[in-house]
């Protein structure tokens, strides 16, 4: 389902803020891996190739779920949650966590290669105390990202928005000197790109 967090519990409070509640009941690495295996079966049943890059819905997962993704996928494409206790090797503490994203491909503390989504997405009307984000805002963020050598400018685009806004974003980002590449191109090692890279997933 793309309509809920799926791997993590959350709610919207009386002040219209999204609150993260913690792992879903029954959460474990085995449970998450089972869901990932089941999703692969659905792709095969539909005659589609099974994805090799994973994205947690709404970029929300537990430490156990991230371990499951590591065993089944070569990379994740997302912003991620990081919990107190992860670096010290103690039990993860869901009540103390932060979200983080990167301007380039990294291997994170969970051991996975993570492809960046660092520009955000179009939000026509602000909600949950977040402001609206329009085409010019994404292009401006990509321009600010140019201070990072060999950085990546990556955004998410909802297909129900049509193609006009998408075209404006692509033109604006390419005018900054970025070149669009497939996400899989960022999972390989080797030569450093001569120009900053950007990708689109939508």
Q: Which residue among 56, 90, 115 closes a domain? A: 115
Q: Tell whether pTM > 0.75.
A: yes
Please tell me the least confidently modeled range out of 53-57, 94-98, 104-108, 182-186: 182-186
Same domain, 47 and 103: yes
One domain for residues 182 and 85: no
Same domain, 80 and 124: no
Q: What's the average model confidence in pLDDT over 24-52? A: 96
- CA separation for the pair 100, 16 (Å, rounded): 22
Tell me if 161 is assigned to some domain.
yes
Task: Give pLDDT, residue 185.
Answer: 86
125 and 111 inside one domain: no
Same domain assignment for residues 95 and 150: no
Per-residue pLDDT tens for 45-102? 999 999 999 999 999 999 999 999 999 998 999 999 999 998 888 999 999 999 999 9
Residues 34, 15, single domain; the answer is yes
Check: CB of residue 64 under 8 Å from CB of residue 57.
no
Instruction: Clarify whether residues 13 and 111 are in a common domain.
Output: yes
Same domain membership, residue 81 and residue 56: yes
Residue 2: what pLDDT?
55
Provide the domain count of the chain: 2
Are 147 and 195 contained in the same domain?
Answer: yes
> Are 197 and 107 part of one and the same domain?
no
pLDDT in tens, 124-145: 999 999 999 999 999 999 999 9
The answer for residues whose C-beta is within 8 angstroms of residue 127's C-beta and 6 or more apart is 16
Q: Residue 117 in contact with residue 155, Cβ under 8 Å?
A: yes
Domain boundary among 71, 97, 115: 115
Residue 149 pLDDT exceeds 60: yes
- Are 72 and 140 in a shared domain? no
Assign 3-state DSSP to the chain and report helix, strand, coil percentages, each to 5. 30, 25, 45
Is 155 in the same domain as 77?
no
Answer whether residue 3 is part of any domain.
no
Range of the domain at 92: 8-115
Phi, psi (rounded to 5 degrees) for 185: -65, -20
Q: Note whether residue 27 is domain-resident.
A: yes
């Amino acid at each position: 389902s793309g309509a809920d967090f799926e791997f993590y519990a959350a709610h919207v409070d009386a002040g219209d803020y999204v609150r993260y509640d913690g792992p879903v009941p029954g959460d474990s690495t085995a449970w998450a891996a089972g869901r990932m295996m089941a999703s692969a079966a659905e792709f095969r049943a539909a005659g589609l190739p099974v994805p090799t890059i994973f994205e947690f819905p709404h970029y929300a997962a537990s430490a156990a779920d991230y371990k499951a993704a590591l065993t089944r996928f070569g990379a994740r494409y997302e912003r991620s949650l990081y919990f107190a206790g992860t670096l010290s090797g103690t039990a993860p503490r869901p009540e103390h966590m932060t979200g983080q994203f990167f301007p380039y491909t990294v291997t994170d503390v969970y051991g996975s290669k993570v492809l960046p989504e660092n520009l955000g997405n179009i939000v026509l009307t602000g909600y949950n105390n977040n402001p609206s984000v329009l085409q010019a805002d994404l292009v401006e963020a990509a321009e600010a990202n140019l201070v990072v050598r060999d950085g990546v400018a990556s955004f998410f685009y909802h297909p129900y928005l049509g193609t006009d806004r998408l075209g404006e974003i692509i033109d604006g980002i390419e005018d900054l000197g970025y070149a669009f590449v497939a996400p899989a191109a960022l999972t390989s090692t080797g030569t450093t790109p001569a120009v900053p890279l950007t990708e689109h997933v939508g």
